[in-house]
Amino acid sequence: MTSRMAGRILILVSLMLVPLVAQADSKDKDKDKFRFLEATVAQLQAEMAAGSLTSQQLTRAYLERIQELDSTGPGVNSIMELNPDALEMARNADALRRKGVVLGPLHGIPVLLKDNIDTGDRMQTSAGSFALVGQSPLLDSTVAAKLRAGGAVILGKTTLSEWANFRSFESISGWSGRGGQAHNPYGIDRNPCGSSSGSGAAASSNFATVSLGSETDGSIVCPGNANGVVGLKPTVGLTSRAGVVPISHTQDTIGPHARTVADAAAALSVIQSVSSDGRDPATGGVPLGWQGTGKTRPTNIPTDYTKFVDPNGLKGAVLGITRQGLNGFDPLVPTPAPVTAAVEAAFKALTDAGATLVDLDALGYNFSGGPGEFEVLCFDFRNDVAAYFATRSGVPVAGGTLQSAIDFNNAHAAIEMPFFNQDIFDLCESMAPGPDDPQPAFGNVTYNQALKMDHDFTVTNVDGALSAQHLDAIVSATDNPAWSTDLLYGDHFIFGTSSIAAAGGYPIVQVPAGAVFGVPLGISFFGTAFSEPTLIRLASGYEAATHARAHNLPTFAATVPFEHVKGPLQQGEGDEDMHSGAAASRALPAAAAAQSAASVQGAAAAKPKTMSEKAKRVLHGL
């Protein structure tokens, strides 16, 4: 976050806030005293219904917490911009409630949106790039419009990986030219993963009740894993992408981060499109994995997903387990033994809760991901981003093309490319224009051939396993625990499993499952298209059986692990606040100075050399 941005937030919050939350006393300063800590949608709705809480009070409390822990204090930097109309929205929600009108499960509930989701108000929608800063979008995205219609309070926009992590093979998750580097509330030096970095970090930090992110391949579930929250990636087309800065119409989807499965389910109930919204064709159709199979969009899509939450949801379930890739993408960088042990403990919890596991690897299924995925994303992006630019005015790339964004970055390299380049942009722009044109960068495979490869992968392996083995879902670990943010060498993905569902457009529910030295670890439940009810039942059953997040809340530590790391001359000095927000805030100036002073063009040691290696590295964070 720039100092100018921090100043704007400070001024805004100081005007809007009335202190509501008692501060921690000096004897208990490392214990979070926030009044609404871990408060759920149901609990907050009950308080508002009883008249003991108003939406204005709740909104002010979240704004105060953001000021205390995000823009100052430890400096999570998960918030890009606060909504100057948030308190007015809260007042309107309170006024309707007094008249007996409640518009939905999120009525009066503060929600944060990733900064690639259009809001037709006074806020920017920039995807983290100054190329989209200027005049605000003219219209709400469909999901923002549904939040307004449901009485939710749009609290602000969250930081993200610039262009949803699709600008460079050397990108750093959570960094953008406009937003700076987002951090992880479990350890400020840890990465929040991306691209919905701020969304995951903000939900984990209790900066709002729920937040919205977007996913192409991993960008909801990876931040969920890294920040210890639930990440619900819906079926492609269940939530509209209209008014969302795109990567790919084939794979993009919008979904929630929340601290409980029930809260994620409540948010999905509000933002989903049961039928076509008239703006995104996918809301009237089926995702790639179902296309050409004779399967059609269900006519009984639920309107309330919270009814599928079941604390006993794993009893009698039959789950397919895959460990493919969990030993690491690179044999020279294997998964550490403590992580492997934590994954196996998470799998054991499934059987302890009453599920039966089927070893899918022993049966020969392939869960490496769609072989044509990266080509599909590149081809889609060039066309889809130009279509989005056509909806904007008063910003540098309005009405332009991908080349317009490339030119903007080259002209403003000091602010847009201080750490990494735009080689993915360049690759996408270089592709042949037709869907049946051979693409030399991808072994002369055409776009349509790549689509078929991804479709066949999904039908054979995902749907094939679910059907032949009579499974309720497929399960695996989500990603490796969060790495320390490294602006020189970039992201440190060891493994990730989101590609199982990505190419076919299928849903995932990621749920906290444990921790390694205090760093969260999650597992993911995968299903076929429109299987969200089943996945919610299973994930909520796992959550009830393990209470993994409740046992490991964020501490806003400067680093994690924070025990057994001091030298002999440091013992006894500042031990009591080693993992407090105060300690974290003292560590930030040096980190910020290092970021602003550095100027590298994505030069990193031991970079992957082949296209497939580069694609594997960048996928799982889109």
pLDDT of res. 112? 99
Q: Which residues pair with 73 in a beta bridge?
A: none
Least confident of 75-84, 145-154, 487-496, 569-578: 569-578
Count of domains in the chain?
1
If one counts every other C-beta atom within 10 angstroms of the C-beta of residue 303, the result is 11
Report whether pLDDT(19) > 90: no
Tell me, yes or no, whether 203 lies in a domain: yes
C-alpha to C-alpha distance for 527 and 473, rounded to whole angstroms: 5
Q: Omega into 561 within 30° of 0, i.e. cis?
A: yes
pLDDT digits (tens, 9 = 90+) for 32-71: 999 999 999 999 999 999 999 999 999 999 999 999 999 9
Average pLDDT rounded to a whole number, residues 7-34? 46
Report whether pLDDT(475) > 70: yes
pLDDT of res. 620? 72
C-alpha to C-alpha distance for 104 and 272, rounded to whole angstroms: 13
Report whether pLDDT(594) > 70: no
- Band (pLDDT 50/70/90 cuts) for residue 603 is very low
pLDDT of res. 598? 36
pLDDT of res. 295? 98
Tell me, yes or no, whether 386 lies in a domain: no
Least confident of 23-37, 158-172, 211-225, 418-432: 23-37
Query: Is residue 79 within 8 Å of residue 86, measured between CB atoms?
Result: no
Radius of gyration of the chain (CA): 22
The single-letter code of the amino acid at 511 is: V
pLDDT digits (tens, 9 = 90+) for 310-348: 999 999 999 999 999 999 999 999 999 999 999 999 999
> What residues act catalytically?
114, 195, 219
pLDDT digits (tens, 9 = 90+) for 68-108: 999 999 999 999 999 999 999 999 999 999 999 999 999 99
Can you give the residue range of the structural domain that contains 554? 3-22+53-369+455-561+597-618
Tell me, yes or no, whether 188 lies in a domain: yes
pLDDT of res. 562? 85
C-alpha to C-alpha distance for 93 and 152, rounded to whole angstroms: 8
Q: Which residues pair with 496 in a beta bridge?
A: 479
pLDDT digits (tens, 9 = 90+) for 117-131: 999 999 999 999 999
Pairing of strands 253-258, 210-215: antiparallel
Report whether pLDDT(350) > 80: yes
pLDDT of res. 563? 86
Average pLDDT rounded to a whole number, residues 25-32? 51
- Torsion-angle region of residue 518: left (phi > 0), alpha (psi -120 to 50) or beta? left
pLDDT digits (tens, 9 = 90+) for 505-521: 999 999 999 999 999 99
Tell me, yes or no, whether 461 lies in a domain: yes
Q: Name which of 197, 240, 198 is nearest 218 in CA terms.
A: 197
How far is CA 525 from its chain centroid? 16
Residue 495: C-alpha distances to residues 325, 370, 586, 621 (Å): 6, 16, 32, 11
Query: CATH number, domain at 74?
Result: 3.90.1300.10
Instruction: Round to the nearest angstrom and report the end-to-end CA distance of the chain.
Output: 21
Instruction: Transcribe 154-220 into DSSP letters.
Output: EEEEE--SGGGG-S-TT--TTEETTTEE--BTTBTTB---SSSHHHHHHHHTTSSSEEEEEESSSTT
Mean model confidence pLDDT for the chain: 91
Q: Could you tell me what percent of the chain has a pLDDT over 70?
A: 88
Tell me, yes or no, whether 94 lies in a domain: yes
Tell me, yes or no, whether 575 lies in a domain: no
- Band (pLDDT 50/70/90 cuts) for residue 13 is very low
CA angle 448, 390, 138 (to 5 degrees): 130
Tell me, yes or no, whether 261 lies in a domain: yes
Q: Name which of 109, 32, 111 is nearest 68 in CA terms.
A: 32
pLDDT of res. 615? 76
Query: Is residue 271 within 8 Å of residue 147, measured between CB atoms?
Result: yes
Tell me, yes or no, whether 37 lies in a domain: no
